[in-house]
Every structure is written in structure tokens, then in C-alpha cells.
A and B are shown apart, each in its own frame.
Chain A
Amino acid sequence: MTRFVVRRFVEALVLLLVITAFTFALIHAAPGGPSILLDPSMAPEDAQRLRQAYGLDQPVPIQYMRWLGRLSMGDLGFSIGVGRPVAELIGNALPATLLLSGTALLIALAFGIPVGIVAALKRDTWLDKLVTSLSFFGLSMPVFWYGLILIILFAVNLRVLPAGGMNTPGSESWVDTLAHLVLPAFTLGTVNMAQVVRYTRSAMLGAVKQDYVRTARAKGLRPSGIVLKHAFRNALIPIVTLVGLLVPRLVGGAAITESVFSWPGLGRLAVAAASRHDYATIMGITVMVSVLVIVCNLVADLVYSALDPRVTY
């Protein structure tokens, strides 16, 4: 077990190095450069002076080594776009993202798992067919469209919920934040819920056909006990895999939902950084999300062994 974790850790470091080198090369290969230097009303000479001040006139490998040097001391660098340290920007955006994705994940699991179980148990009934079609609808719906429809309905027409942002500027009340959370969390939650429903349903379908379920039934156990204690516990393994995949995606990848709802989270920070060619911020987020993906995968692997005694490391 310890050897397994240590080996995975070393692998992770190598992987991280490859990812950052590749990303660094990629973003510098994109033509254009930081948008702060691309104001057409700025004289090219002045732009050149700013480029030097930011060290952007250096060759890319040197810039990468400098960046790596700072990273090894725990410094994620400085965003020339915002004029703040990258760690501070990520630190500001992370709670917003965790609040939104956490709520969305909660919605997805709290509704998705029971609905998935029921759909599997009532297989091929009208209820199952309804759930299946609805979840297909949820999976295929573009978030930017769905989010805008919700905004037009609830914020523009009914005016019961705010159209965007995380709070009314100047207000610090949590009720206000909650009101701002409803639409984006619902948007993100329903899309993920669709996925959870699909996974749970198929995993449960597999589990209820197993011999041990038949045995349990033959022994005369209560049906709810069979479903929850025997079938569901075994069905959990693919669901844990899914959650392991969803968590990093929810943290790093709620970009569209966050953009549509002007939610000041990491996804939007990443989009803004990419569009203004804010190299330090792009790299900072890359490092953070990479680490998160690696850690989540590791945790998912460890949870398997807790759930399934046959899995050992």
C-alpha cells in the first residue's frame, strides 16, 4: 500500500513536469501575446517596453525554467493581466467554484442516485423510459443555451432571481449569495445529474442480476435490504469512478456555466486568462487542476480497495 502510494507520487511528479512543459510551449506557440500589449492605440515602441519589463522578450525555454524555478519555491507567479499574484487569484476563485460545484454535485448525487436506482428496478416501465429520455436530454443540452434560457425566464421575465454574479456588490449576506447560487447550481447540477442517473442505472442493472442478489432473495431478505446492502454497494464502484472524474471537472471545468452566470470561479478565471494570454495564470490553473486530477484518481483507487476487498495494492 505505502509502496503503491510512493510509486504513484513519483509518477505524478514526472507527469506534472510533462504537462507543464507541454502547456507552457503550447500557450507560447499561440500567436498574439498578452492582450495588455495588444491595444491598437498603444504605440508599438511602448508595447515593446512593457514586453521587456515583463520578461516576455526572453526565449520561451528560459521563461519556462524561470517559471519552474519559482514554482519549486511554491510561487505560482504574477498575473500581468490582473496585476495580482496567481496564487491569490486562484485562492479567491477556488471558494466560489467549490461552492458552485459542491452544490451542483450534491444536487446531482442526491437526485441522480435514487432516480437511477428506481429506474433500474423498474426497468422497461414507462417510468424508466421517462428517466432515460430525460437524462439523455440533460446530457445533450448545451449549458450555455440552457443557462441563458433560465436567466431569461427567472431573472429577466419573472425577476425573482439575479441574472449573474455571486453576490450583489456591497452586500455580504449569505441569503443574497444563496439567491445568486440557485440558477448556476441548478444548471450545472442537472447536467451532471443526467450522467449520474445513467451510470447508477446501468451499474444497478448489472448488480441485481448477480448470483449473490438471487441468493439473498432466496434467503428471504427484505427487498430494500437487498437493494441497498447488496446490490447498491457493488454498484457503487463505477459510481465512485464517475465521481472521481467529475470532481476535477467540476472544479476546473465549470467554465461555461461560470461564464454564462458571471460566477467568479476558477473556470471563468481560466477562460479569462486564456483569452487575455495571461501565461502565469494559465500555468497556475494547469498545475492546480493537474494535481487535483492526479489526487482524485489516487483517492478513487484507494476507495475501490475499501469498497471491494478483492482489490488490494
Chain B
Amino acid sequence: MKKLHRIALALLLAVVSIGHSQSTRGGTFSLPINDDPQMWPLVGGLYNILVNKALYSTLLRYDPETLEPVGDLAESYSVSDDGLTYTFKLRDGVTWHDGHPFDAADVAFTIGLWIDPEVPYYLASNFRLIESVEVVDRLTVEVKLSAPQASLPVLLGYNANILPQHLLEGLSPAELTNPTSFTRNPVGTGPFKFAEYQPGSHVRLVRYDDYFDGVPYLDAIVFRIVPDANAQLALLQSGELALVVIEPFQVGSVANNPSIAVRSVPAVRTEFVTLNNTVPGLDDPRVRTALAMALDRAQLLRTVFADRGSVATGPFPPTMIGAYDSSIEPLPYDPEAASRLLDEAGWTVGPDGVRQKDGQRLDLEILYDPASPTRTQVSLIAQQQWAAVGVASHFDTTEYGTILTRVRQEVPAYEVNPNYLVTAPDPDGIANYYVSGSLANMMKYSNPEVDRLFNEGAAVTDPEERARIYHALHAIIQEEQPNIYLVYPDEIQALSAQTEHFPVTGYRDALAWAHLISKR
């Protein structure tokens, strides 16, 4: 055993209980979700994930402050010296919402589903290195990997809910895609248990008194299905919702409301402009760097992102544990230097004021989703500021789903696309978007050194060694700008002033601590 991770849960609990000494019990906490949740963790969708956070538990969850994985159903875990065996010690005395005791067999059963090629689990790739899982005793599980995977603990906390074996055993893989018999009355180990689901209206979860981490303070959590952003804000202002995660342009509508507190929390999110690196012009790192330097990202942060976040320097946001290199400065906003770089790359200003090379004009097509005000504004500002250095651009607009299909294929059908990425707080989660040949690599960026470093980083567990690898990656990617990195936006939470102890972190991760939330 090289390392033994001990989780200071007792300490955390002590801190929490001091913090709660004056808070009241009871009350309902309501938040909106955009669509009908399946309440089934094997499929994705933020609306589904959010409900599952309060309903089910994971082996590990993220400490709200550091985003480090700490114990949830697992009390502690250890890794073997070769990094191939993880042993999880489970909490004793945990029960499912139907009263059935939870034990190691449930964990082994669930991990078995994730790695079963017959069962479609939307995050199966996260656990592709798990070779086998074994029950050692009632409260110990051993997971064997085919290769070391440093990101495993983080990924176990990322939408990887543990499911009850006693209710799901025997279902066929086809039934497991949508087990309505189970999801009509889903049973988890989370702080809130299922009470009611009205599709198109709401899901109501009520306090689970036997929750293993202390009796929840709230009586109920209600997820209201409200896709319309205006309707969400109206419900917040009328006091029918307690939390709405808002877009930067909405800050003004709630900023002066005394019954609503607006706060920003760091998110594991990057906003960038994806560049198709196979398009003439964009295949040259100098042109890509010039486009980045011609775009005033600090101004974008102030105007489009309501000054909530920081200017991005690469693929890893500061929340990405041990990967973000704070010594790397953002590329300066410098249109003159950008012009020089473009000249150097052979793209010189033609008679119509637009740069050209070998008879081809530098006229880029910006593909964006007009339903997103943020990315619409980014597109408009990019067009203006690029025009100032002689780069022309025009727009193509369509819905996000179509954009995602167009950019993610063998031969991507786009040139420039403002986009974003939300991942687990581990840099290995980014690898898929950068390594050569991956479908998720929308830029079709390819650099053998980057491939090598991402592969190396995936296996290394030593924090210093990891930092060295990912800092090197950060530097190379900053140098080559396969994307234009814009902003690491904060998540902007508009919270009812009655809410107390909502963990100061992104709301998905906060909901894994839903038992701590209380209402004045």
C-alpha cells in the first residue's frame, strides 16, 4: 500500500454541526430543471443528474471547497503500489430508502453494470480501465484496473451513483436502459427519498430520516421542470423557487432584489472558440494565436460574462485539481502583434482590406447557437475585433444539438465555433478532447507530444509528478492555441435569501451535500 487516503469525515461533520447550531429544521427547497428527469443514473442530462445527486449516493463525492474526492458511501480507500488495485472501505449502517441494508454487493453490482459492454451507461468510457470488481467482505470492495488510472477517485464522484442490487438484479441489459418498474419508485441511499413525480411539472423528494450522514435539515427538495429562462426568473422573484443558476445577462434583473442573493462560485468550465485546425489558415498556430490576440478576452469577461470568472489561459480551469498552472499568463490583447503574426504567416491584407494568401481570402464562418445569448455576443464581438486586423467572418446559426453533431465527426463541418466544456475536476477528463484521432477532438488537433503527455498523466498518481505533466501540457497548448481560450466563467447562483448553508460550490456538487441545506 503506497498511500492510504484517510478522510477526515468526523472533523468535517463537527464543523458542519457547529455551523448549523442555529439553523431551523423543515421547509422545502425548490430549484428548476430544464427537462423531465428519468431518475436513472445510467443515462445523462443535467436535469437527471441533479435529481440523482439528492436521491442516490456515490462512492466518493467532492469536498465543496477543494473539489477533492472525499468519502460518501466509501469511508476510505487505498491504492496498491502498482496503482492497479483500489480497495474501498464502505460505511457501516447505511440503508436503502426501502430499509434494505446497503453493502459491498451493491457496489460490486453497480460497477459490474458500468463495465458490462451490453449495458449502455453514458459514462462507461470513464471506467473502461476497470477489469474486475470483487466483494472482499460485507464492507470492502476491491476494484482491479488493467492500467493505472489516477482520475478514478474523481470519476467515481462524477455522476456515478450506486444502485440497489436487490431491486435491479436479474433485469436484462435492454430492461436496464429504461427500467420503468424501478424508476416509478426509485430507491437510493441519498439524503432525500422519492415522493412524487409529475412529468412536465415537478419531482418531489422528501427527507430520509435514516440518512447515513445525519438527518437532513429540509423537509423536502422540489425540482420544478421549467425550461423557460424567463419563467424561472419569475418563479424565483415570486418566491416559488429558492435557487436559479443564471446566465451573466440575467444578473441585472435580480441584482437589486433584497430577497435574492447573487453569488459566484468557481465551476469546472471553460468557454472557448473552437477552431477547425484542418481549415486553411487555421492550420497555422500563428494564425490561431493571432486570432486570440486580436480578441479582447478581458473585455469579454467584463461585458459578456458580467465580470464573473477569469480570463482563460488553456484547457484546464483553476478548479482542475493539480493541473492549472497559475504562472501562465493569458495571451495579451494586442491587435498590432496579431497583425504582425498574420503577415508573418503569409496572410497579407488584400485590396478589399481582407487578408489573403495564395489567392484565398481569410473569411471565416462562425457557427453558433442563437439560443445562447452568451455565445451570440461572443460571435458578434469576435467578428468586429477580427475585422480590425483584416480577418473577415460571417455567421451560420443553428441549434446546439446540430452544432455538436457537426463539430464532432471524422471530418468536422465547421470552421469556427464558440463552445464550452464542463467536465469532472480532473485533467484526465480533458484528454479525450485533445488526443489525436478522438471523435471528441473537434479541432482535429494532433500533436504527438500532447498525446504522450496526456497518456502519461492518466496513469500518474503522485501529485507533484502529475502537476509537472499537466503544466507542460498547459504550456504547449497555450503555445499552439488549438482553440481560442476565452474565460473560465463562474457559476452564477441566484439564491433566495431564506436559504442557508447551501455549499459554496457548483450546484451539482452542492446537491451531493443536500442534507446540509436549510431554510430560515
Contact = CB atoms under 8 A, between A and B. Distances in A.
Interface of A: 30-33, 35-36, 38-47, 49-50, 52-54, 78, 80-85, 89, 92-93, 96, 148, 151-152, 155-156, 159, 162-167, 169-170, 259-262, 264-265, 268-269, 271-272, 275-277
B410 to A, nearest CB: 10
A210 to B, nearest CB: 48
B445 interface: no
Contact of B439 (A45, A53, A92): A45
B234 A155 contact: yes
Contacts, number: 181
Nearest to B404: A38
A82 B122 contact: no
B44 interface: yes
B228 interface: yes
B326 interface: no
A212 to B, nearest CB: 51
What are the nearest 8 A-B pairs in CB distance?
Answer: A32-B401, A264-B200, A83-B38, A44-B439, A43-B125, A264-B201, A53-B120, A82-B36
Given A148-B234, A165-B240, A169-B202, A49 B45 contact: no
Given A39-B45, A44-B439, A32 B222 contact: no
B226 interface: yes
B233 to A, nearest CB: 9
Contacts of B353: none
A47 B226 CA distance: 26
A41 B405 contact: no
Given A41-B421, A84-B199, A156 B224 contact: no
Interface stretch (B176-184, B485-493, B497-505): B176-184
B30 A259 contact: no
B94 interface: no
Given A50-B120, A259-B228, 11 more contacts: A39-B122, A40-B419, A42-B123, A82-B199, A89-B200, A92-B200, A159-B238, A162-B240, A165-B202, A166-B201, A268-B200
A159 B234 contact: no
B213 interface: no
Nearest to B438: A44
Given A261-B231, A276-B35, A35 B225 contact: no
B440 interface: yes
Interface string B464-489: 00000000000000000000000000
Contact of A45 (B28, B125, B183, B226): B125
Contacts of B405: 31-33, 38
B406 interface: yes
A44 B199 contact: no
B408 A44 contact: yes
Nearest to A172: B196
Given A163-B240, A169-B196, A264-B199, A46 B228 contact: no
B178 A80 contact: yes
Interface of B: 28, 30, 35-36, 38-40, 43-45, 117, 120-125, 173-174, 177-178, 180, 183, 195-196, 198-202, 204, 220, 222, 224-228, 230-231, 234-235, 237-240, 398-402, 404-406, 408, 419-423, 429, 432, 438-440
A36 B202 contact: no
A33 B401 contact: yes
A42 B44 contact: yes
A70 to B, nearest CB: 15
Contacts of A36: 43-45
A169 B224 contact: yes
B462 to A, nearest CB: 26
A40 B240 contact: no
A159 B504 CA distance: 30
Contacts of A47: 122
A261 B423 CA distance: 33
A272 B422 CA distance: 23
A162 B231 CA distance: 11
B48 to A, nearest CB: 9
Contacts of B420: 40
Contacts of A82: 36, 38, 199
A261 B200 CA distance: 12
Nearest to A49: B120
A267 B402 CA distance: 23
Given A83-B40, A92-B199, A272-B36, A40 B421 contact: yes
B148 to A, nearest CB: 20
A159 to B, nearest CB: 6
Chain A CB count within 10 A is highest, among B117, B195, B198, B422, for B198
Contacts of B398: 31
A41 B432 CA distance: 10
26 contacts: A32-B405, A39-B122, A42-B123, A43-B123, A45-B124, A45-B439, A46-B123, A49-B120, A80-B178, A82-B36, A82-B38, A82-B199, A83-B38, A93-B199, A151-B238, A155-B238, A163-B235, A165-B235, A167-B201, A169-B28, A259-B228, A259-B231, A264-B225, A269-B199, A269-B200, A272-B36
Nearest to B222: A169
A151 B237 CA distance: 10
Contacts of B173: 53
Contact of B234 (A41, A96, A151, A167): A151
B423 A41 contact: yes
Contact of B240 (A31, A164, A269): A164
B155 to A, nearest CB: 11
Contacts of B406: 31
A12 to B, nearest CB: 29
Contacts of A32: 399, 401-402, 404-405
A92 B399 CA distance: 29
Contacts of A35: 35, 45, 401
Contacts of B237: 156, 163
Contacts of B204: 169-170
Contacts of A41: 44, 421-423, 429
Contacts of B239: 159
Contacts of B120: 46, 49-50, 52-53
